[in-house]
Structure 1
Amino acid sequence: MKRRNFLVQSSLFTAGALAMPQNIVAASQDKFISKRPSLADRKFVSEEVENVIKKVKLVIRDEEIAWLFENCFPNTLDTTIDYEIIDGNPDTFVITGDIDAMWLRDSTAQVWPYMSLISKDEKLKNLVKGLINRQVKCVLLDSYANAFYKDKTKISHWKSDQTQMLPGIHERKWEIDSLCYVVRLANEYYQITKDDSIFDEDWDNAMRLIVKTFKTEQRKNNESDYYFSRSTTSVIDSPPFGGTGRPVKANGLICSMFRPSDDSTMYPYLIPSNIFALLSLNQLSIIYRNVLDENEFATICEEMSEEVDVAVKKYAISEHLNYGEIYAYEVDGFGNKLFMDDANVPSLMSLAYLGAHKLTDDIYKNTRKFLLSENNPYFLKGEFAEGQGSPHTGKNKIWPMGIILRAMTSTDNEEIIKCLKMLKGTHAGTGFMHEGFNKDNPKEYGRDWFAWANTLFGELILKIYKENRSLLALKF
């Protein structure tokens, strides 16, 4: 099954759902029955997560929003976790949902909303520690791959892929953010727990390989031997020129052949991912200097972070006719720039969510205004919703993830309420988030089991609960 191409047709809906008014796509009051697996069938149970669900639901006035939160927030734990002890250490494999493989990006994002609870729940703490261990194994297997199998002997079903594929790898699409998420998880785990046992020899080797890969993909001397070519009818499923990507003019930025959507880049310098990388390099420099007392490598990370930062400011910021200085989405170093965004993380919209910008920073505010305007070709408006889409899902599908990130990066209560109303009105009665839905018909959606989107919705509600609780007392 293709990762992001599982289309659910209206024929799959129950007669009750089909009988709903055409201008309202929501579960009726008598349908708010938990969609979670039975307790015996859940993959992992955290008492702290269960306590949070009960506590937050008590203050949510809107029954449907409360139902969505109960279904979505624990979805990663309920359905995607494979946890065990291997060689005396915790090991956690996290599938993305409807595909039996683990993405480095998705797995970190899927457990991220639980991070604030790990100091209170030893089981949950070990789950995250196990995921760090598993991600290290993946990076050491191949730092260019984006998705892996738990079984290291398994051969990928992508038989037509022309690349240096190894057993145990599901897909080998080079995406900067895959490695950034590995750093992000380890850093956050340590900041919360101060457990430095994760920084073992394998972790150290993996981090040095990550930095080496970043340096190679700066392509200052055309030293990269990465290529990826797939037999496909989709022009965005494989980079051009034999899978090596379009030409770039070396300037300190890091090439990424693919976006977080797993689509190939148009111009290889993907700006949100480069900004994510400079954050990750800075985090590594602090860990190596302050925790591991490895000043030489810390300096290497710090200098590369500064180099990428300077290049981003020089090559990725342009004066827009209507919005002032904004970020381009992709550039090539020759002066060519692509202005759009992709409803994923990292994205330009998500820069404040990732911590790269404050919500009040002018460059971020200007960019955000552009992203939510008709000048962004992938900001879509339809009968049921408006929001960011992605070339990955065509010209008519809005991503719930984009709506969620819009709400998470907003300081406007009315905008947040608008986003919640759209999320409530477009889940097609399923009780879960999806990858994308038709802007004029939410019953036409992709991926009915997308754990990251589900858990991210839970993260949004939890953020509102902590920072703006009065909004949850409203009926949407």
Structure 2
Amino acid sequence: MLTDRRNLMTQGALLGAGLATGALAPIAAAQTGAAKRYVSKRPAPADRRFVSKAVEQEIARVSRMIADPELAWLFANAYPNTLDTTVRMGRVDGKPDSFVITGDIPCLWLRDSAAQVKSYLHLAQQDPKLRELFRGLIARHARSVLIDPYANAFMEDPAARTNLEWSQVDETEMKPGVAERKWEIDSLCYSMRLSHGYWATTRDATPFDAQWADAMRAIVRTFREQQRKDGPGPYKFQRASRQPTETLLAGYGAPTRKVGMIHSGFRPSDDACQYPLFVPANMFAVTTLREMAQVANGARSDSALANDATALADEVAAAIAQYGTMKLPDGRDVWAYEVDGFGNAIFMDDANVPSLSSMAWLGCVPASDARWQRTAAAAWSDANPWFFKGTAGEGIGGPHQGMDYIWPMSLIVRGLTATDDATILKCLATLKRTHAGTGFMHEAFEKDDATKFTRDWFAWANGLFGEFVLHLAATRPQLLKAPLDGIRV
């Protein structure tokens, strides 16, 4: 039977890349009147793939701010997980090259790799090694996009054929260097977001060379192709699978009216879209195209590229405003999750980012936006078919792992966007009690039994959790001192 990405999701004891071989001194603390020791789950120092003094100092600084010893232990394990276990540094044409795998899958996803390193960005100005990491990843993204802007995942060797069993017989144009070829708008958005984040933080123009500009032009061209004004475009994909979310109807997806929005084959979960006009990714594209324009102007004085990106962003934004909303049965006006341009729309939310819930955090709408607030509230309720509530916790899942599985990522995003202390503390408490003793975040856990979970080694979730704690340390440090054990669903 053909396997797919789901078949790599495991549960139980930690398996990946030294995650169970940590040899650091344990964290000692008093808990409920008794001394309890938390032994680090990080690899031994000699086994870590990338070491940043600035990150180590940040771990120590923030850990001292956390009163709950288990929460401090989780942060110290999860925050450096990408650096400890997933980074492979090299050189290409004399310049740094950074290959960042997802964790238990040894390939680079454009989305995951950019998201995995985001929580280290604020330290890049003070750490030359981190700047080298970011330069190398920006260059790796540019080369990957130029191999195939329709691919979501790539091999370390650009001449290698995919080693992912589920991708080897896909009916699509698989090129050397491509690991999986699921067209997802957000993959290219994350490349733009990576570039803008680095430029905004450091004002270092080094990585924004001619190759980068070629990749950015390829992104704009691909987005225009997938507006499908002049036909379906060059991308087509089908996969033999028992899961309907693994393939596209006739290779292109459901029919649409061409309204100016960008078509996406798949969501950031790698699941097929029901309707190809995927609203969260279109909103993210508008934001990141404008960010790319800022880099093109500021780092390269490339007004042609900047103007082209801005014009496309304006066009897509106008189309979203006209076609990207819907009314719930109770009359609430919200953003739709997906639409087809004919008037059909679905409301749901998936834990993977971009999601409707994450729009304010991603900077696509102001946190004060009334429609987004209604949308986010509906997503965290029974109005969303992928919202689950059980004895272990409540949160959003998605079709990728199916019914009754909650993704910690949804809890983290909710905590990052919440404005009241009670909601934030509830998210923290749930994350603390659902790691199943592993010391890391997982992809998903069963709503009534957190010992049933998927993916022991999922670096994106670990990095996002680290970002959540850093956010609280910067904005609401008093919450890191609050007791969590008495907070329940």
Tell me the residue number matched to 2:205: 196
Paired residue secondary structure (2:56): helix
Question: Counterparts of 2:98 and 2:171 in 1: how far apart (Å)?
Answer: 30
Kindly state the Cα deviation for residue 299 of structure 1 after the two structures are TM-superposed. Answer: 2.0
Paired residue secondary structure (2:5): coil
Tell me the residue number matched to 1:402: 410
Kindly state the Cα deviation for residue 10 of structure 1 after the two structures are TM-superposed. Answer: 5.6
Question: Counterparts of 2:468 and 2:35 in 1: how far apart (Å)?
Answer: 23
- Alignment match of 1:40 (pick from 31, 46, 59): 46
Question: Counterparts of 2:204 and 2:304 in 1: how far apart (Å)?
Answer: 23
Q: Does 1:393 align with 2:395?
A: no
Tell me the residue number matched to 1:22: none
- Alignment match of 1:254 (pick from 258, 262, 267): 262
Question: Counterparts of 1:52 and 1:3 in 2: how far apart (Å)?
Answer: 34
Question: Counterparts of 1:375 and 1:58 in 2: how far apart (Å)?
Answer: 40
Question: Counterparts of 1:36 and 1:136 in 2: how far apart (Å)?
Answer: 31
Distance 1:210 1:79, change over 3 A: same
Kindly state the Cα deviation for residue 475 of structure 1 after the two structures are TM-superposed. Answer: 1.9
Q: Which whole-Å deviations, capped at 9, do the CAs of 1:233-258 have from their partners, x for residues lacking one? A: 111011112x2111110011000000
Paired residue secondary structure (2:289): helix
- Alignment match of 2:424 (pick from 416, 420, 428): 416
Question: Counterparts of 1:101 and 1:386 in 2: how far apart (Å)?
Answer: 31
What letter matches 1:68 in structure 2?
L
Tell me the residue number matched to 1:467: 475
Kindly state the Cα deviation for residue 30 of structure 1 after the two structures are TM-superposed. Answer: 4.0
- Alignment match of 2:189 (pick from 163, 180, 183): 180
- Alignment match of 1:62 (pick from 55, 63, 68): 68
Distance 1:170 1:7, change over 3 A: closer
Kindly state the Cα deviation for residue 376 of structure 1 after the two structures are TM-superposed. Answer: 0.7
Kindly state the Cα deviation for residue 441 of structure 1 after the two structures are TM-superposed. Answer: 1.1
What letter matches 2:328 in structure 1?
H
Q: Does 1:343 align with 2:351?
A: yes
What aligned pairs does 1:94-173 form with structure 2 within 5 A after superposition? 94-156=100-162, 157=165, 158-173=167-182
- Alignment match of 1:369 (pick from 363, 377, 400): 377
What letter matches 1:190 in structure 2?
W
State the identity %. 46
Kindly state the Cα deviation for residue 12 of structure 1 after the two structures are TM-superposed. Answer: 8.5
Kindly state the Cα deviation for residue 159 of structure 1 after the two structures are TM-superposed. Answer: 2.1
Kindly state the Cα deviation for residue 109 of structure 1 after the two structures are TM-superposed. Answer: 0.2
Distance 1:29 1:248, change over 3 A: farther
What letter matches 2:91 in structure 1?
I
Q: Which whole-Å deviations, capped at 9, do the CAs of 1:363-389 have from their partners, x for residues lacking one? A: 111101101111110110011100000
Question: Counterparts of 1:209 and 1:394 in 2: how far apart (Å)?
Answer: 35
Tell me the residue number matched to 1:25: none
8 Å CA contact 2:360–2:366 kept in 1: the answer is yes
8 Å CA contact 2:49–2:84 kept in 1: the answer is yes
8 Å CA contact 1:255–1:268 kept in 2: the answer is yes
What letter matches 2:146 in structure 1?
L
Kindly state the Cα deviation for residue 300 of structure 1 after the two structures are TM-superposed. Answer: 1.8
- Alignment match of 2:5 (pick from 3, 6, 23): 3
What letter matches 1:445 in structure 2?
F
What letter matches 1:350 in structure 2?
S
Distance 1:468 1:11, change over 3 A: closer
Question: Counterparts of 1:187 and 1:11 in 2: how far apart (Å)?
Answer: 38
Kindly state the Cα deviation for residue 215 of structure 1 after the two structures are TM-superposed. Answer: 0.1
Question: Counterparts of 2:279 and 2:192 in 1: how far apart (Å)?
Answer: 18
Tell me the residue number matched to 1:17: none
- What 5-or-longer segments of structure 2 have no aligned partner? 16-33, 485-489
Q: Does 1:440 align with 2:445?
A: no
Q: Which whole-Å deviations, capped at 9, do the CAs of 1:91-148 have from their partners, x for residues lacking one? A: 0000000011000000000000000000010001110110001111100100000000
When normalised by structure 1's length, the TM-score is 0.94
What aligned pairs does 1:192-341 form with structure 2 within 5 A after superposition? 192-241=201-250, 243-322=251-330, 324-341=332-349
Q: Does 1:51 align with 2:57?
A: yes
Kindly state the Cα deviation for residue 288 of structure 1 after the two structures are TM-superposed. Answer: 2.9
Distance 1:41 1:313, change over 3 A: same
Kindly state the Cα deviation for residue 291 of structure 1 after the two structures are TM-superposed. Answer: 4.0
Distance 1:7 1:166, change over 3 A: closer
Of 409-418 and 352-361, the range deviating more from structure 2: 352-361
Kindly state the Cα deviation for residue 283 of structure 1 after the two structures are TM-superposed. Answer: 1.5
Question: Counterparts of 2:87 and 2:14 in 1: how far apart (Å)?
Answer: 27
Question: Counterparts of 1:226 and 1:7 in 2: how far apart (Å)?
Answer: 28
What letter matches 1:124 in structure 2?
L
Q: Which whole-Å deviations, capped at 9, do the CAs of 1:277-315 have from their partners, x for residues lacking one? A: 011111222333444333333222111111111111111
Kindly state the Cα deviation for residue 29 of structure 1 after the two structures are TM-superposed. Answer: 6.6
Tell me the residue number matched to 2:434: 426
8 Å CA contact 2:14–2:456 kept in 1: the answer is no
What letter matches 2:354 in structure 1?
P
Question: Counterparts of 2:355 and 2:310 in 1: how far apart (Å)?
Answer: 23
Distance 1:225 1:116, change over 3 A: same
Q: Does 1:81 align with 2:87?
A: yes
Q: How many residues align?
A: 461
Question: Counterparts of 1:239 and 1:217 in 2: how far apart (Å)?
Answer: 15
Kindly state the Cα deviation for residue 7 of structure 1 after the two structures are TM-superposed. Answer: 4.4
Kindly state the Cα deviation for residue 318 of structure 1 after the two structures are TM-superposed. Answer: 2.0
What letter matches 1:453 in structure 2?
A
- What 5-or-longer segments of structure 1 have no aligned partner? 14-27
Distance 1:299 1:264, change over 3 A: same
8 Å CA contact 2:54–2:126 kept in 1: the answer is yes
Question: Counterparts of 1:119 and 1:177 in 2: how far apart (Å)?
Answer: 27
Q: Does 1:91 align with 2:93?
A: no
Distance 1:435 1:130, change over 3 A: same
Give the structure, 1 or 2, with the largest relative contact order (CA under 8 Å, sep 6 or more).
Answer: 1
Question: Counterparts of 1:7 and 1:100 in 2: how far apart (Å)?
Answer: 13
What letter matches 2:184 in structure 1?
E
Paired residue secondary structure (1:366): helix
Tell me the residue number matched to 1:71: 77
